[in-house]
Amino acid sequence: MIYSVVGHYSLILGLCIGLILVYFSIQNFRNFNQLDNKILSFSFLQLFFVVVSFLALVISFITSDFSNETVFNNSHTTKPLFYKISGTWGNHEGSLLLWLLVLTLFIFIFLLRTKNQPIKYKILTLVFQQVIIIGFFLFLILTSNPFNYLFPVPNEGLGLNPILQDPALAIHPPILYLGYVGSSIIFSSALAATSLKMVSTNWAIHIKKWVLISWIFLTLGILLGSIWAYYELGWGGFWFWDPVENVSLMPWLALTTLLHCILVLERKETLTSWVIILSIATFTLSMCGTFLVRSGILNSVHTFANDPERGLFILIFLFTLIFLSLLIFFVFHKPGQNNQANFFWLSKETSILINNWFMMYFLSVVLIGTVYPIFLDVISSQKISVGPPFYHKLIIPFLIPFLLMMAIGPKLKWIKSDLKDKIYLFSLLVISVLISFFIVKNFNANVLVNTILISAALYLFFITLRDFFIKKYKNLAQNIAHFGFSLLILSILFNNLFSSEIITNLKVGETYNGSKTKIVFESINQKKQKNYNSIIANFSITNSEGINNNLSPELRIYNQPKITTSEADIKTTLMKDKFIVINLVQNQDYFNVRYQVKPFMLWIWLSVMIISLGGLISLLKKRT
């Protein structure tokens, strides 16, 4: 009770400080010799109040204070402590408070850590960031207050959706948000730099750190969500082109492109328009993601509430931001004369530019696939959905030149280059084609497409691998990230080609006899846990080589709310995952059994980690 009051008033105080900060900043802007100490103190105070507010919510969750509406809707006394805490951001109101927390934290760190940049620039960045922060404060207080008071106080809460009660999903939102919200700093400072006409090499070096930090967190956040979907949703895969996944992929694509543009800008004053537009796009797409996910337009786990008022607020806020930023871009940005015209066709920056266009294309495909159904629903109220074939058909063919460019691009020099080491570049290509042809032929897959695709990925794989051992540490970060990407594509390809699946309905004691696999449903055990009943099924699975595995998938029947979830049992080895999941069919003796053998699953996760490791190395590297 008392915590809710504290939390609520902290939010209002934080909002007031936001307004005070804007006022001081404008004053300081006129007299800019020195950064006003007041600004730093007030930023700290704002951060402090948001932290207090956040902690108040966490404590309300821990103590199961059901006089708080958010706690009542999303918690339950029997829930384990860990999920009581993670439940804080497992709902609409709490997750927005987390957004706000990260927003204020980042601007404070930005003010502290930014040295050697003009005071004007720091102040202006703060102002833009405060506009976003104030927007979020208003959004929280007006439409989704986490501290609404309930009377009479209920005895018991409604509980957290059981599929969210999972360790990966407990840390997925904070990590993802660090990525999303990190892009807000890039957005604010890009606007500030544009207004002051200081989008330059010097600025690129300074902002690169922030780009890298958000990029690493965004990558890891998406990875966590994907791992969770793999073992908890029981769909048997890692990516489903679900709109909710797409909205996290879009900022990632924009941010990756931005990162590459920044790398160019670091060396040569060009691509400035790209950098500004992409900075705006990344943050806008992150906001769009929040809007689409939160407003209830997309059907998914993340849809916490169907409240049109909230959707409208975010939409208006979003359009204001886009309008503001485009205005600043068109008024202040005058691209230098030595822009695009100066590109020599064979150089590192040209190859980066080409791949940027590819990434923009991928981004548009994902955007169209995600937004088109919503659009059509609004104008003709026709309900449609866009499935994976759409994305596969449009993205896969273009991956081939993209991969080749990724392999050759880094070999080129800046500004003007010729192709050296032609012999080994060519011989590696031949080797890749031969190997992939051999693999594909051996497994009777669709020859042409797969051969070319695998060749392209293998080519990148070999080149990065060779560079790793030969050109020691020249550009380790790029090398490792690109290597990770080739590994990712290879793993996905092999995973797609060589996965096998058996779906059947079995009663306890029955046996499924397939051509290659024998599945024996041996027994079930029931157990009572703290907030759910568990049914553990025991399967003995024998494959054609006579290797026997015992797998025990589980069904959890939660009591509050009454939901059944299935916990897949996965035997992970270096080369393949064996995955089994069961479902109960209502009022029937049959269990619905899905058994999959998925090669290289582990490598998909590992390769994404390698990609983000590349980012980390680049972040830690001292500039020489």
Near other proteins in 389-408, by CB under 8 A: 389-390, 393-394
Among 201, 504, 538, 543, binds other proteins (CB under 8 A): 504
* Binding string, residues 287-326; x marks residues near other proteins by CB under 8 A: ------------xxx-x-----------------------
**Which of 2, 5, 430, 503 touches other proteins by CB under 8 A?**
503
- With binding defined as CB under 8 A, does residue 602 bind other proteins? no
CB 390, min distance to other proteins, A: 4
Two tokens, residue 481? 């990230």
Under the criterion CB under 8 A, does residue 588 sit at the interface with other proteins?
yes
Q: Which of 191, 460, 506, 535 binds other proteins (CB under 8 A)?
A: 506
CB proximity list for 213: less than 8 A, separation 6 or greater: 178, 182, 619
CA distance 342 to 14: 48
Least Å distance, CB 516 to other proteins, is 17
Are the C-beta atoms of 186 and 585 separated by less than 8 Å?
no
Supply the DSSP symbol for 593. Answer: E
**Residues sharing a CB contact under 8 Å with residue 183, sequence separation 6 or more, in sequence order:** 214, 218, 251, 255, 279, 282, 283, 286
Asked if 246 contacts 234 with a C-beta cutoff of 8 angstroms, the reply is no
List 594's β-bridge partners, or say none. 503, 581
What span, in angstroms and rounded, lies between the C-alpha atoms of 178 and 185? 11
Task: For residue 511, state whether it binds other proteins (rule: CB under 8 A).
Answer: no
Q: Does 157 bind other proteins (CB under 8 A)?
A: no
Considering only residues 158 through 177, tell me which ones interact with other proteins, judged by CB under 8 A: 161, 163
Choosing from 383, 472, 528, 622, the residue that interacts with other proteins (CB under 8 A) is 383
Among 58, 71, 581, 601, binds other proteins (CB under 8 A): 581
In angstroms, give the least distance from the CB of 580 to other proteins: 11
Q: Which of 67, 195, 450, 566 binds other proteins (CB under 8 A)?
A: 566
| Binding residue (CB under 8 A) for other proteins from 344, 445, 583, 609 | 583
Residue 116, Ramachandran bin (φ over 0: left; ψ between -120 and 50: alpha; else beta)? left
Among 82, 235, 319, 375, binds other proteins (CB under 8 A): 235
| Cα 562 to Cα 470: distance, rounded to the nearest angstrom | 59
| Non-local CB neighbours of 206 within 8 Å, separated by 6+ positions | 114, 116, 117
Contact region for other proteins (CB under 8 A) — 45-53, 185-193, 320-328, 560-568? 560-568
Closer to other proteins at the Cβ: 188 or 295?
295
* Buried/exposed 563-584: b ≥16 CB within 10 Å, e otherwise: eebbbbbbeeeeebbbbbbbbe
Residue type, 186: I
- Residue 138 tokens, joined: 């208003």
Please state the closest distance from residue 339 (CB atom) to other proteins, in A: 14
- In whole angstroms, how close is the CB of 49 to other proteins at the nearest point? 33
To which H or E segment does residue 551 belong? strand 548-551
Do the Cβ atoms of 536 and 524 come closer than 8 Å? yes
565 binds other proteins (CB under 8 A): yes
User: Nearer Cβ to other proteins, position 7 or 159?
Assistant: 159
Interacting span for other proteins (CB under 8 A) from 58-66, 129-137, 555-563, 611-619 = 555-563
Quote the least distance from Cβ 369 to other proteins, whole Å.
8
Using DSSP's 3-state secondary structure scheme, residue 594 falls into strand
Site for other proteins in 403-462 (CB under 8 A): none
Q: Does 387 sit near other proteins (CB under 8 A)? A: yes
Q: Which stretch binds other proteins (CB under 8 A): 33-41, 95-103, 183-191, 563-571?
A: 563-571
Residue choice 31, 380, 515, 586 for contact with other proteins (CB under 8 A): 586
Q: Give the count of residues interacting with other proteins (CB under 8 A).
A: 48
Q: In which residue are the tokens 């900075």 written? A: 279
What are the structure tokens assigned to 55, written together?
């902690």
x-or-dash string of contact with other proteins, 349-378, rule CB under 8 A: ------------x--xx--xx--x------
- CA–CA separation, 411 vs 407, rounded Å? 8
The C-alpha angle with vertex 392 and arms to 387 and 393, in degrees rounded to 5, equals 100
Cα–Cα dist 541/538, whole Å: 10
- 61-83 burial, b at 16+ Cβ within 10 Å, e below that, comes to bbebbbbbbbbbbbbbebbeeeb
Torsion, Cα 364 398 482 617, to 10 degrees, reads -10
Give SS3 for 282.
helix
Residues across the chain:
624
* DSSP-based three-state secondary structure for 519: strand
Smallest gap from residue 533 Cβ to other proteins (A):
14
Of the residues 40, 59, 85, 233, which one makes contact with other proteins according to CB under 8 A:
233
Backbone φ and ψ for 240, nearest 5 degrees, come out as -120, 5
Q: Which is nearer to other proteins, 134 or 233 (CB)?
A: 233
- Pick 382 or 515: Cβ nearer other proteins: 382
Q: Least distance to other proteins from the beta carbon of 503, Å?
A: 5
Shortest separation between residue 515's beta carbon and other proteins, angstroms: 14
Report H helices in 443-475.
447-470
Q: Which is nearer to other proteins, 167 or 388 (CB)?
A: 388
Alpha carbons 52 and 71: distance in angstroms, whole number: 17
CA dihedral of 197, 201, 202, 203, whole degrees rounded to 10: 60
Contact between 543 and other proteins (CB under 8 A)? no
Determine, following the binding rule CB under 8 A, whether residue 64 of this chain makes contact with other proteins: no
> In the bound complex, what is the minimum distance in angstroms from residue 587's beta carbon to other proteins?
7
Map residues 185-224 to x or -, x wherever contact with other proteins holds by CB under 8 A. ----------------------------------------
**Taking CB under 8 A as the rule, does residue 384 contact other proteins?**
yes
Q: Does 382 bind other proteins (CB under 8 A)?
A: yes
Which residues of the shown chain bind other proteins in the complex (CB under 8 A)? 161, 163, 233-236, 299-301, 303, 361, 364-365, 368-369, 372, 382-387, 389-390, 393-394, 503-506, 510, 512, 561-566, 581, 583-588, 590, 592, 594
